Chains A and B, each alone.
Chain A
C-alpha cells in the first residue's frame, strides 16, 4: 500500500505577532517547521507501516508538499523519521494559492506518485486554520473523507476504521480505500529521528517537480487559480484592563470575588 502524507511548512513560532500597520504576520526569521497536525499524520502513517510490516504487508510512506525549495529540508527530516520518500511541488507559479488551488496542485502530485491507497492530512494548518485541504482533496480524488480523526482502529488492504470527532462527541467510522483522512493534532506525537535515520536522510533523493513537471492545469494554480479574495485582514481589538489588588488576604479575596461577579454579569 502506498500512503501519502500531505505536509505544509509553517512558521515555527506559536506566538504569531502581527504588524499593526500592515496587518501581516511578522516573520521572526526562525526556521519553518512541519505543520504540527501534519506531523501527527506522518506518525500515524509510520505506525500503519509498522503494523502492516508485522503481518508481512509492504507499505511505502511518501510525504507530499507544495512549497519553496527550502521545504526540502523539512521533507528530508520526515525521511529521517521513517518516511520512504518525498515529493516537493515547487514553482513560482504555485505562489499565492488558496486552498482550492493548493488542492489542485496536490492532486496532480498524488497522480504523479500513483496508486495511492491512503492519503493522510493534518486536520488543518496552524497558520491558515482552514481545515479545507483534506476534504477538498477527497473531493478531487472522488474518494471518502474522514475528518478530524483522533484514533485509528483498523487498516487492511480494502478498508480503514477510525474514531473521529463530531459536533456531538466522537464516532467510529469505517470507509473503503482509497480514502483521505484528516488527523487531529492530539492523535499521536511524531517520533524523533535516530542517528541512523538522520544520516540516511542526508543521502536520500527528494523529488522536486515544477508546475509543468506535475502536469497541472495552470489556470487552476497559484493566485490566478484562487477564487478566494481577501478583502481585508485585521487584528481584532481586545480591551484588557489590569488592576492591582492590595490589602489583607481577606480584602483581596473579597475584591477578586467582586471582580468575578462583575465579569459574570
Chain B
C-alpha cells in the first residue's frame, strides 16, 4: 500500500521546484498508479473526518518555473514513480498513440523512441503488434520540446508546455489524444479527444462511477496568441482541453495518450547573426511568411550574446562554444524540417536571400545538418539561460535575496515590433539590466531582468506588472508556456479581468468543491473558495 510519509528533512527537496520557490507540507506520497492515487485521496479524506480534507499539491519532475508544484501546506503527491509505458495503438489515420503514466520523463521517452527500446512489460498482444509495426516504419518522435527535457509528461500536460518547435507543432495540447483524470473525490474521468464536446459553454461529463457533471464554463475569449494562462475555454470545446493546462487545479492526471509523429527526414538548424534587433524582427516575419518548412524561430538579443561571450572567455564548460564575432549583435535561430534534401537546400537558399535583404550575410550563419552540429547549437541555446543563472548566482553572493525575473508573455502576430519597443523603452527608462531570448516566431520572448540590488528587483516587478497590462491590451497572454502557477496569478486578473478569474474559480469548485487540488495555483485560496480576493 502506498505510504503517506510525514514530511521530514529527507524530503525537503520536494518543497521546491525549478522556480526556486519553497513551500511547506505535512506529508508526501509517491503513488505508482491510478489506484494508489485514489487510495491516497481517500486516506486524506478519512483523516479529515467531517472537516475539509487537506490540500493536495501534485508534482512531477518539479521542473516548472511558475511554482505550480510548490506545496502551500497539506499533502504533496509526487507522481515521478508513476512512470510506466502502458501500451500503443494506431489510429484510423495511421498515427501511433502511446499510453503513458504521468511520471514518464520526456528525455527517456525520446531515448526509447530513438533507440526503439520502449519498455513493454504488461502490454497486450494488440499493443505489441502496433509496436512491431511502428518499429518497422519511419522513426517516430514526440514533438513537444520544452528546454528542460527532464520534465515529465504529466507536468507538461498540466501546464500545456511548449518549446522552440511549438512554432510548427503547437504546445502539448494537440498531441494529447486521451487522458484519465482522478478528481479530488477519487472519481475518475476518462477522456478521449473528439468524444466529449461542450455545447456552447456548457460541458457535460460523466465519471466512471456514473456520476454526471454539468459544468458551466467561463465566458471569456482566449487570446489569439500562444497561451498557457488559465483554463482553456472555447465554445463547443473538447472536454480534454479543459484539463490540459489547468495547472493541477481540476484533477490529477493518471494516464496520458500521446500522439507521435514521424521524424522529418531532414532537420537543419540555422543560427543567423545580425547587426540589430529591428532586422531580427523583420527576418522573423519574412521567414514566417515565406518558408513553410520552418519548425522553430528563436531569438537571442545583444545582452544575451554578450553574457555568453563573457562566460566563454572565462573558460570551463562554455569554452567549447563556437566563437561569436564582435560584430554580431543578435541571433535568430531558424529550424527547417522537410522530407527532401533538395527542398531543404531551396529553403536554405531562400533564408539566405531573406537575410541579405535585411542587411545580414549568408556568411554570418551556422548551419547544423549533423547530429554533432545540432548538439552544438542546442548547447549554445541552453548556454544562454545557464550563463544568466550563473551571473545571478554570482550576484546572490553579495545579496542572497536577489533572483532573476523572467517574463513569459506573448502577443498576436503583427504586434512583435510593438512589444519589443515596449520592452526596450521601459527597460531603458528603469535603468535595468536585462537579457532576452526565446520563441520570437511565436512573438514570445523571455525577457529576463538581472537585478543588481533589491531596488532593481522591486523595479523589475513593477515593470512586469506594467508589461502584463500592456501585453493584455495588445491581445496577448501573460504566460505563454510556463503556466500561471503561483507566481503569475496576479497577472491572470490583469489579463482576463477579475470577473473572469472568478468564473474560473467557480468552474474549479464544480470539480473540486473543497478546493483541495493545486491550492494557490491560478488564484488565491480565498477566491478559489468563493471569496473575493483575486
Chain A contacts to B: CB under 8 angstroms: 12, 33, 36, 39, 77, 80, 189-199, 202, 249
Contact = CB atoms under 8 A, between A and B. Distances in A.
Contacts, number: 58
Contacts of A195: 270, 348-349, 351-352, 355, 362-363, 365, 367
B10 interface: yes
B322 A196 contact: no
Contacts of B367: 80, 192-195, 197-198
A195 B365 CA distance: 6
15 contacts: A33-B371, A33-B372, A77-B369, A80-B367, A189-B376, A191-B322, A192-B366, A192-B367, A192-B377, A194-B362, A195-B348, A195-B349, A199-B349, A202-B345, A249-B10
Interface string B108-124: 00000000000000000
Contacts of A39: 372
A222 B349 CA distance: 41
Contact of A189 (B320, B355, B362, B371): B320
A192 B271 CA distance: 10
A191 B366 CA distance: 8
Q: From B270, B351, B365, name the one whose CB has the most chain A CB atoms within 10 angstroms.
A: B365
A199 B355 CA distance: 14
B327 to A, nearest CB: 14
Contact of A198 (B10, B348, B361, B377): B348
The 8 closest A-B pairs by CB, nearest first: A192-B366, A196-B362, A195-B362, A195-B352, A195-B365, A194-B365, A196-B363, A193-B367
Contacts of A189: 320, 322, 376
Interface in B338-353: 345, 348-349, 351-352
Interface string B361-395: 11111111111110011000000000000000000
B373 A198 contact: no
A36 B10 CA distance: 44
A257 to B, nearest CB: 18
B342 to A, nearest CB: 10
Contacts of B348: 195, 198-199
Contacts of B351: 195
Nearest to A29: B139
Contacts of B320: 189
A36 to B, nearest CB: 7
Contacts of B370: 12, 33, 77
Contacts of B364: 194
Contacts of A33: 370-372
Contacts of A36: 372
A197 B364 CA distance: 11
A144 to B, nearest CB: 31
Contacts of B270: 195
